[in-house]
Amino acid sequence: VIPAMGSQPCSPDKCCTSESGGLCQDSGCSSDVVPHDSHKYNSQSDAMARACGGDAAAEQEPKSPAPMGYDIVATPREDKSSYHGQRLDGLRHGFGVWKDRNVEYAGQWKNDQQDGFGHQVWAGRRHYQGQFYEGKFCGSGRMIYTSPQGDQTYEGEFLDDKKHGVGTFSWADGRSYAGEWFDGKRHGQGAYTNSSKEKRVGLWEGDSFLG
């Protein structure tokens, strides 16, 4: 079950607000969907923001349709998953909760895809809280991987579901890497600290330390 992300439980008939305040607030806000490029969520570079569907001009664009343009539904789907949330023209759009046998997602949707801020949990294995774009992790986020040895955590930038940009990965045994990533691998400038607190700082390529 997805834990609460703010002082109030999330619900499709409430409007989305900032990450720091949780996903939901009382009804009556001007828009259900906060743009995924909004400064409320973004700490990533301008280049990453553009890659995830935003740009500097997007702040001036109109917000999504007003709440009256949505309907709220609770319905099983053909793939035997379920969706409870807002739709627009028959597509998941706005805030909604989607569940199937192994995955649960609560967050924003656009044109039937996860898009905006959301929280996704894979049963007993990992959970992600952060930005989505066209159904993939894209932008700033935090992923926790659960294992019998303990939790491993990545906090930073994503692109196309992979660690990409700048971020920090922490292992359960105390190791960590903070620096640049490319296509899911350590790549660029970064600092690795082992479990004995010894540190290597320098250039990485394809997960290998070059010095």
pLDDT of 56? 34
Q: Encoding tokens for residue 123?
A: 């049963």
Domain ranges of the chain: 15-172
Q: Please report where in the chains the tokens 């995955």 appear, as a residue.
A: 103
Interval 192-210: pLDDT, tens: 999 999 999 999 999 999 9
pLDDT of 61? 33
Q: Which residues pair with 186 in a beta bridge?
A: 181
Element (H, E) at 154: strand 152-159
Q: How far is CA 132 from CA 54, 124, 160, 202, in A?
A: 12, 21, 9, 31
Interval 64-75: pLDDT, tens: 443 434 566 666
pLDDT of 12? 44
What does the pLDDT average to over 182-197?
A: 96
Greatest mean pLDDT range, 25-34, 56-65, 110-119: 110-119
- Does residue 4 surpass a pLDDT of 90? no
Greatest mean pLDDT range, 1-15, 32-46, 47-61: 47-61
Interval 150-182: pLDDT, tens: 999 999 999 999 999 999 999 999 999 999 999
Output the pTM of the full model.
0.72
